[in-house]
Structures are given as structure tokens and as C-alpha cells.
A = this chain, B = another copy of it.
Amino acid sequence: MSDEVDAVVERVRERVTPGDDERAELQAVADRLTERGEDAIASLPVDAHVVRVGSTARGTWTAGDRDLDLFVCFPPELDREELEEYGLSVGHAVLPAGHEEYAEHPYVKGTVDGYDVDLVPCYDVADAASIQSAVDRTPFHTRYLAERLDETLAADVRVCKQFMKAIGVYGSDLRTEGFSGYLTELLVLEHDGFRPLVEAAAAWTPPVEFDPADHGRESFDDPLVVIDPTDPERNVAAVLSTEQLATFQHYARELAAEPRTDLFEPSESEPVDAETVRAWFERRGTTPVAVRFDAPDLVDDQLWPQLERSLSGVTDALNRRGFDVLRSAAFADETAVLLAELEVAERPAVERHEGPPVHVRDHAEGFYETYADSDATGPYVDGDRYVVERDREFATASAFLRSDALSNVALGTHVASALESEYEVLVGEEVAPLAGEFGVELADYVDPKP
């Protein structure tokens, strides 16, 4: 067994290790861009320098990755406006065909010889605890790892990243909520290799905590805690969700149980068509309902938390009203969709409504007077309480979703405004044609994997 895992890992390692040509080419491009940056800095009225960060700087990129991250480090005294102005001017000098994007600061992004290059300004602070903006931390990470990752460990980092990509847990963006590159590198380093890491992970009982620099002081309420060796107050795994951690554990065991290289091969599902979707829901006897609207124009890191919040607001509201949600999902492309698969699409015209205990005299008398002469059935006494059966506000899930009551649901701000302008509600078979825009997403929905 052990040999089989080693053999699989070895095969993957060969595949993801960049060859000498790739390394040399990347080095050449990076050197050229760094030089251009330094030239541009020379004409500025301020001292600064260019550093390479990220996986290409640490030698932990997987073969074929073409991301180059260059940071321009400015003195910490520089005010923010100047930093941004100088940062952009260096950026445009290095990447004349680039365009500006905005994260913590504006920065310049462009393509050079097939490489996706980011040119980001940051403050050159004394240590990671004194950072003035989140990106200031990055050079410290690169330095910490560069000192500790030899080529053997770097190779294992590449294998680990490949594994995480294939099983869908790689990336600390707010849609994936998975493992960042830095987190992956720290974990491989901490366990001294990919194989010991997955063997340990297979047996983890969260919360699991690592503190490589042994300087943690705070406690974190996260399933995985890895104290940043360059900043004792930060959990590097803060973004990782419980679900993605469990998924990683699942596949760590799967690798041990049935070692095979396809666990390292990302694959996108074949899209399903409308008829497949229709037949699938029909066979299950559930009722899918979908709220569809124009996707808000936001970057993924803003969009997805809003979609998730909205989806959970809608499913909570559906559940509270008795339209029991079996499963739900959010999709986004040109349009965005909140999909809920209902066990119960229709409730009776009446609902049971419990009043106060009869012995709580003031409340009880008020409740009784309210309902005694109403159309409600009752009040009658059940246990120690008054109960009535009164008209239900919404007998169908679609009536609720089409009503103004939807706006009282906890939604993301931009989703709320999108819904205010226009949305459609699809019920039952009307959901099936969503396969046109979301065939891959629906393929994953009808055949969910760990």
C-alpha cells in the first residue's frame, strides 16, 4: 500500500515539477520585469525596490502555472495616496499593455510572454506585525518559506497543490473557502512532506492547531488553525471552511485506500441538458424552485459571500414556512440563480398557531379576544396553551418567493438591489432550462461528490 502511494506521488511529482526550460524562461521574464521596475523606480522621488513573491518566487509553482507576482516595496512613511500613485506608475512602466485592478490598493495587471503578471505596491515594514495593509505581509511569507523549503519539500508542495486543486479545495478566495498557497506550504513544511501531511490529515479531529513558530497567543474558533509564523495574531487557515477541511480529509483517506493518479487530475463535469435535469427532479419527487436575476457586477470575492448569504436567507425562510428544503445551491454567470429543492412545495390553507399558556392571564386574555370572533378555528386548549388554526400567509413556496415578503429575507446587499429591480421565479419543470447557462453546475448538483 505504502509503495503504491509513493509510486502515485512520484508520478504526479514528475508531472508537476517544472522542467529546466520552464524555470529558465520564467527566471528570464522575471528578471527582465524586475529590471524594468527598478528603472522606473529610479525616476521616482522615493526609495523603493522590487521583490518577487508568490509560488514562482518560492519555487513551488506547478508546471504550466504562469503567474508572476512582483511587489514594489515603498518606505512605510510614504502616505497612501503617493504609494498608490507611484505604485501605478511603476506598474504601467513594467506592463505598458496592462490595466488597473483594485484589491487593497490599485495595482496593475498584464500579460507578458504568456505570463499573467501582477505588479502590486506595498509598504516595506520592519516585521509582519507592523503591516499597514494586508499585502505588506506577503514578502515576509516568501522570505520565511524561501529559507525553509528545499527542493524536496518544494516538490511535495507542488504535489499537494495539485491534489488540492483536483479535489476542489485549493484557493482562499471566498467562493472556494479552501487552502491558500501559503497555508499549503506551511502544512507541508510542518509535516515534512506531502505524504506525512495527508496521513496526518486523514486522522485529524478538528479543531486542529499548528504553531510553527511557537508564538501563538490568541485562540481561534476555526476548524484548522495554523498560526502565521510571521504574525502571531493571524490564523493562516481562517478562510478554510469546515466543509473543505472535511473534503480534504475524505480524499486524504481515499488516497491511502485506493492510490491513483486521477485523484490529482482536476476534471470539470460534463454539462447536463434540460431533459436530464427535468427527469432527475421528477424521479426524486421533489419540487425545485429558483430565483433568477441579473448577476450583480462584482468581483467573485464580493459576489460569492453575498450569494451564499442570500441562499441561506432564502432557504431559512422557506424552511420556516414549511417548504422543507432538501438541498440548495447558488449559481452565477451572466445571471445568478438561487436554487432550492423542496420536499414540500405546498402547505394547507391553514396553519397551527400557538398562543400563550392559559394561566398567563394578560397575554392569554388578549390572545383569546383577538381570535375568538375571527375566522380562525379555535381558540381551543392544547396542553396548557390556547391554539388557533388560522389562514396561512403563503400556501405555496412560489407565492412566497414572488411576494414582497422575499425582501424581508436576509439577503446580500447587492443581491437585494438586484431583486428590487427584477427577478423571475422558476418552479418545477421551469427550472430545467437553466441547464443552458448552468449545465456544469447542474451536473455537479445532480451528482454531488465529497
Contacts and interface: CB of A to CB of B under 8 A. Distances in A.
Interface of A: 202-206, 223, 242-243, 245-247, 249-250, 253, 283-286, 322, 324, 326-327, 343-344, 346-350, 352, 357-361, 364-365, 368, 377-386, 389, 395, 446-450
16 contacts: A206-B384, A242-B383, A246-B359, A246-B383, A249-B358, A250-B381, A253-B365, A284-B349, A284-B389, A286-B348, A322-B343, A327-B352, A327-B389, A358-B450, A377-B446, A379-B450
B447 A377 contact: yes
B348 A381 contact: no
A380 B250 CA distance: 10
Nearest to A206: B359
A202 B446 CA distance: 59
A283 B358 contact: no
A326 B343 contact: no
B348 A284 contact: yes
A383 B324 CA distance: 18
Contacts of A395: 285
B359 A204 contact: yes
What is the copy number of this chain in the assembly?
2
A246 B357 contact: yes
A211 to B, nearest CB: 20
Contacts of A446: 377
Contacts of A359: 204-206, 246, 249
Contacts of A206: 359, 384
Contact of A246 (B253, B326, B349, B358): B358
Contact of A347 (B343, B364, B365): B343
A379 B254 CA distance: 13
A206 B385 CA distance: 12
The 9 closest A-B pairs by CB, nearest first: A380-B448, A285-B348, A246-B358, A285-B349, A286-B348, A246-B381, A242-B384, A284-B350, A381-B450
A166 to B, nearest CB: 16
A390 to B, nearest CB: 11
A14 B339 CA distance: 70
Given A250-B368, A368-B450, 18 more contacts: A202-B361, A203-B361, A205-B359, A205-B360, A206-B384, A223-B384, A242-B383, A242-B384, A246-B383, A283-B349, A284-B348, A284-B349, A285-B395, A343-B347, A377-B446, A377-B447, A380-B450, A386-B450
A381 B350 contact: no
A326 B389 contact: yes
Contacts of A365: 253
B253 A377 contact: no
A179 to B, nearest CB: 15
A253 B361 contact: yes
A353 to B, nearest CB: 11
A381 B344 CA distance: 23
Contacts of A284: 348-350, 389
